């Protein structure tokens, strides 16, 4: 085995052409999913203060945004709904004319080739802000399941291409698969938020989606951040119930979990670069403390290098633009 001075690892870093030749990981626009917030109402386009550049749109204001996303060749969007009315059981989540169902129809009529993934959860629709039905101050797993399967089915009926349960109830993938299959939607895949942690990085999202729990927190259903082996059990459970794609969330503080899941399973793997990760980058860049393009592309590359096939990110539109002009490293020698 060669040693210094024969061995010089810097030889392959001398020029951009050499670096590009041996580059192990590349992010492609085709890997990205753009999350969008749709709000009930008309004529609404509101920027989310903690997520500069990200807006809540009412369904009638979606066309310009959809045209931009499709024009950038981003393959998929993920929809979150903010309804007008919330109640104890989140009943507006599964209405045929609910806000997400309307948004799906708008998007599919404009850009049929753009994949529409829907977040299936009740937290934006319940008055208490929890992801399930509350019985005696606790989130009731089994009473929540039928509402989740109804919601997922209503999304498929409205034209969703993929449904993505994010509630972390046990058994949700199974009941959603059954509901889809019984209604001739056996071709609709399930992307499960399999290893979703109870993370402080969701803060800005809860402002955006108006989904902050009104009492307590989500730690009795979302995973405890210190646990990595448990993530493999969560993923195993969801795959055994019929998940087609699995997700680890958040991404950046959990790159080790992405790596472990990648090593243990052959299922397509998604990672969610969440709202708090976006907000941190935006805030530092606004101060002039970081270079946004370089930081974002480095971050997305790291998530891919850790093992993710698919990256859900609020940076998707900017990244798509930058990837058209750069290969991730535009610096000369």
Q: Which residues bind ligand PBG (CB under 6 A)?
A: 119, 121, 123, 131, 166, 202, 205-206, 218, 274-275
Sign of CA dihedral 291, 296, 297, 301: positive
- Please compute Rg for the chain using Cα positions: 20
As a whole number of angstroms, the distance between CA 6 and CA 86 comes to: 69
State in angstroms the smallest separation of the CB of 202 from ligand PBG: 4
As a whole number of angstroms, the distance between CA 134 and CA 150 comes to: 18
Looking at 150, 174, 249, 282, which residue is catalytic? 249
Cβ proximity of 228 and 256 under 8 Å:
yes
Three-state secondary-structure class, residue 186 = coil
State in angstroms the smallest separation of the CB of 205 from ligand PBG: 3
State in angstroms the smallest separation of the CB of 28 from ligand PBG: 22
Phi, psi for 141 (deg, rounded to 5): -55, -55
Alpha-carbon distance values, 78 to 63, 81, 204, 247 (Å): 15, 10, 17, 13
State in angstroms the smallest separation of the CB of 222 from ligand PBG: 6
The tokens describing 4, both together, are: 């210094």
Looking at 150, 196, 260, 304, which residue is catalytic? 196
As a whole number of angstroms, the distance between CA 1 and CA 246 comes to: 41
Note the Cα 240 to chain centre separation in Å: 22
CB of 24 or CB of 227, closer to ligand PBG: 227
H-assigned helices in 159-274? 172-182, 203-209, 229-241, 255-264
CB of 101 or CB of 313, closer to ligand PBG: 313
* Residue 80 neighbours by CB under 8 Å, 6+ apart: 35, 36, 37, 38, 100, 119, 124, 208, 209
- The DSSP H or E segment spanning 117 is strand 115-120
CB of 13 or CB of 281, closer to ligand PBG: 281
Catalytic residue check, 249: yes
CB of 34 or CB of 202, closer to ligand PBG: 202
CB of 121 or CB of 232, closer to ligand PBG: 121
Cβ proximity of 82 and 125 under 8 Å:
no
State in angstroms the smallest separation of the CB of 47 from ligand PBG: 16
CB of 63 or CB of 302, closer to ligand PBG: 302
Catalytic residue check, 196: yes
State in angstroms the smallest separation of the CB of 131 from ligand PBG: 5
Instruction: Supply the residues annotated as catalytic.
Output: 196, 249
């Amino acid at each position: 085995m060669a040693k210094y001075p024969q061995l010089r690892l810097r030889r392959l870093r001398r020029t951009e052409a050499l670096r590009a030749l041996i580059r192990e990981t590349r992010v492609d626009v085709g890997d990205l999913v753009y999350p969008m917030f749709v709000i009930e109402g008309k004529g609404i386009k509101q920027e989310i203060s903690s997520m500069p550049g990200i807006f809540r749109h009412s369904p009638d204001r979606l066309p310009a945004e959809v045209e931009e996303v499709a024009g950038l060749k981003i393959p998929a969007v993920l929809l979150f709904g903010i309804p007008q009315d919330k109640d104890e059981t989140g009943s507006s989540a599964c209405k045929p004319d609910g806000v997400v169902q309307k948004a799906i129809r708008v998007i599919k009529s404009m850009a049929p080739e753009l994949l529409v993934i829907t977040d299936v959860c009740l937290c934006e629709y319940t008055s208490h802000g929890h992801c399930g039905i509350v019985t005696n101050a606790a989130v009731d797993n089994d009473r929540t399941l039928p509402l989740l399967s109804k919601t997922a089915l209503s999304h498929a009926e409205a034209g969703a291409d993929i449904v993505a349960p994010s509630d972390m109830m046990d058994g949700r993938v199974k009941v959603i698969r059954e509901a889809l299959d019984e209604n001739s939607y056996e071709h609709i895949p399930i992307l499960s938020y399999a290893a979703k942690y109870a993370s402080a990085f969701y803060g800005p999202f809860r402002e955006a989606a108006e989904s902050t729990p009104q009492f307590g927190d989500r730690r009795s259903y979302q995973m405890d951040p210190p646990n990595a082996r448990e993530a493999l059990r969560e993923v195993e459970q969801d795959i055994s119930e019929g998940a087609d794609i699995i997700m680890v969330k958040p991404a950046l503080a959990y790159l080790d979990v992405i790596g472990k899941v990648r090593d243990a399973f052959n299922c397509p793997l998604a990672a969610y670069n969440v709202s708090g990760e976006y907000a941190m980058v935006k805030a530092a860049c606004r101060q002039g403390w970081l270079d946004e393009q370089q930081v974002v592309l480095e971050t997305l590359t790291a998530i891919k290098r850790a093992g993710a096939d698919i990256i859900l990110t609020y940076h998707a539109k900017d990244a798509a633009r930058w990837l058209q002009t750069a290969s991730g490293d535009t610096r000369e020698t």
